[in-house]
Homo-oligomer: A and B are copies of this chain.
Amino acid sequence: MSNFTHYSEHVGAGAGRWFKSTIFLSPNMLVGMDCLEPGQAQASHSHAGRDKLYYVVEGEGEFTVAGETRRLGPGGLAWAPADMAHGVVNVGPGRLTLLIAMAPEPK
C-alpha cells in the first residue's frame, strides 16, 4: 500500500448497488470511497462503536443522520457518530462521489 494516491483512482459504479472501495486501512481507521449513481441510496444503517465521516467530493446528496436530513454538495461534510442511524441518497444528476473515513476499522 502506497502512502500517496488520488481519489479518482478509487471511484467506480456498482451494478444495481452503490460502489465502495478501500484506499487506506489500519486497525485504527478505514479510508475509502462510496460512489452512488443517480437515484442510488445507502439505506439507513449504523456502525457499532464506529464513527463515520463523509466528505462530498462530487455530486449532490441528501444525508440523514439521527433523523435530521440535509442536502450537501461538493465540500460538504456529514458525521455519523458510533451507533447512530445514517443514510444518504444521490439526489443529483451525476455520480455522488464520497470520501469516507471510519474509525476504528470495521471488522
Binding site for B on A (CB under 8 A): 1, 3-8, 23-24, 26, 28-29, 31, 49-51, 53, 55, 57, 63, 65-66, 68, 70, 72, 75-82, 99, 101, 103-104
Contacts and interface: CB of A to CB of B under 8 A. Distances in A.
A101 B32 CA distance: 12
A69 to B, nearest CB: 9
Given A28-B50, A29-B51, A3 B78 contact: yes
Given A53-B24, A63-B4, A99-B55, A31 B75 contact: no
A89 B8 CA distance: 23
Contact of A101 (B6, B7, B50, B101): B101
